[in-house]
Amino acid sequence: MTRDADAPPSWIDALQWDENGLIPVIAQDANSGRVLMLAWMNCAALRLSAQEGVATYWSRSRQRLWKKGEESGHVQRIRAIRVDCDGDAVLLIVEQQGGIACHTGRESCFFRELAGEDWQNIDPVLKEPRDIYRPKP
């Protein structure tokens, strides 16, 4: 039996995609060990990420493929792709270009920590968003 050339490879078929055809993906910094973000991929995004070695997610708000860093330059180079025991979550070990994953200019999107009954910012802004996303000359 030959496989359809356009059919997803078996390693992608082996995953548990949710009712929207998505899977949650954690990105962890290969150097600092920080959990940088949680985003989502569809089958095409994961396949592309594996092929290119840089992370492309599925933007649920924009309903399109979203190459991380396409505007900011904060690309994520993939060192490893892991999957969990249930096959319903993916972990990327990445080299985070610029050392900034968050659109707020912080290393990690998880920069707020519960203190008593409040979320407190615990991480510094490394680069102001206006300097990350400013129009190209």
Which residues bind to a second copy, rule: CB under 8 A? 9-11, 14, 24, 26, 28, 33, 35, 37-38, 50, 80-86, 89, 91, 102-104, 109-114, 117-119, 122
In sequence order, the β-bridge partners of residue 23 are 41
Indicate the pairing of strand 76-83 with strand 56-59. Answer: unpaired
Contacts of 13 (CB under 8 A, 6+ apart): none
Q: What is the DSSP letter of 54?
A: B
Least distance in angstroms from the C-beta of 137 to a second copy: 28
Least distance in angstroms from the C-beta of 28 to a second copy: 6
| Residue 114 CA to its chain's centroid (Å) | 23
Closer to a second copy by CB, 117 or 137: give it: 117
Closer to a second copy by CB, 11 or 133: give it: 11
Least distance in angstroms from the C-beta of 69 to a second copy: 16
In sequence order, the β-bridge partners of residue 78 are 94
